[in-house]
């Protein structure tokens, strides 16, 4: 089974708060991804990283930012959360030459 | 990546085989067919992938037509826990610049 973890599982916060969604994997994977998904809708790639100090924006524009200081850690930050940021955020990773994408359980974010 | 077309929803009786079709008529010679599934509120899970030969693992079988323009994922004995959204994706393997793009998928409902 995959060893990729996301915390928190659920988060309810007020507008204007700064939040960081955590994602960690213990598989030594170099490639990591953040997807955003609204209920019943498609997954959209918002950020990805090919290794330490590498980050790129995905297909869907997002006001969030990411960092990749360590291989195993790929946190996503919202400086000032708004109700439009309410969604599920899914983190994934895969290793070099490994075609399987491993997903975390996701963070369900609700901004009031 | 080649575009895929899947039916939005399907039903299957528990214990019967579930056959999920996918059309990928613009697939190119070096693109693989991948299948993932997403059980409600969880991250997607890898099922199987193949290039042109049929593939089987402990979860499912993948049948790819000779012209590679379509494929079928087969769950031989569907259970209630197989109720999920199933995504068919085509992409070039081992291409670092190529992310998995998830479409709408097929919502499979396994009924008792």
3-state SS string over chain A?
CCCEEEECCEEEECCCCCEEEEEEECCCCCEEEEEEECCCCCEEEEEEEEECCEEEECCCCCCCEECCCECCECCEEECCCCHHHCEEEEEEEECCCCCCCEECCCEEEEEC
Cβ distance of A99 and B32 shorter than 8 Å = yes
At A61 the pLDDT is 81
pLDDT band of residue B41 (cuts 50, 70, 90) is confident
What mean pLDDT comes out for the span A76-85? 95
pLDDT at A16 over 70: yes
Is there a contact between A105 and B103 if contact means CB atoms under 8 Å apart? no
Residue from the list B43, B46, B102 with its beta carbon closest to the beta carbon of A105:
B43
Which residues from A are below 8 Å from B98, CB to CB? none
Closest Cβ–Cβ partner in A48, A92, A106 for B42: A106
| Choice among A44-53, A55-64, B82-91 with the minimum mean pLDDT | A55-64
Percentage, residues of chain A above pLDDT 70: 96
Q: Residue B93: what pLDDT?
A: 65
């Amino acid at each position: 089974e995959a060893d990729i973890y996301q915390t928190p599982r659920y988060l309810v916060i007020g507008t204007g708060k700064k939040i960081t969604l955590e994602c960690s994997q213990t598989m030594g994977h170099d490639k990591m991804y953040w997807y955003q998904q609204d209920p019943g809708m498609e997954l959209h790639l918002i950020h990805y990283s090919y290794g330490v100090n590498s980050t790129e924006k995905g297909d869907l524009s997002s006001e969030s930012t990411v960092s990749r200081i360590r291989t195993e850690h790929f946190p996503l930050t919202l400086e000032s959360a708004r109700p439009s940021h309410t969604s599920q955020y899914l983190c994934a990773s895969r290793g070099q030459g490994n075609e399987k994408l491993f997903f975390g359980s996701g963070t369900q974010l609700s901004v009031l | 990546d080649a575009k895929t077309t899947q039916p939005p929803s399907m039903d299957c009786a528990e214990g019967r085989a579930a056959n999920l079709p996918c059309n990928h008529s613009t697939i190119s010679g070096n693109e693989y067919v991948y299948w993932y599934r997403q059980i409600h509120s969880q991250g997607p899970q890898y099922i199987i992938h193949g290039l042109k030969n049929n593939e089987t693992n402990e979860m499912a079988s993948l049948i790819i037509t000779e012209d590679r323009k379509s494929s079928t994922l087969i769950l031989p004995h569907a259970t209630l826990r197989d109720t999920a959204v199933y995504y068919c994706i085509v992409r070039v393997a081992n291409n670092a610049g190529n992310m998995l793009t998830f479409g709408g998928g097929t919502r499979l409902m396994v009924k008792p």
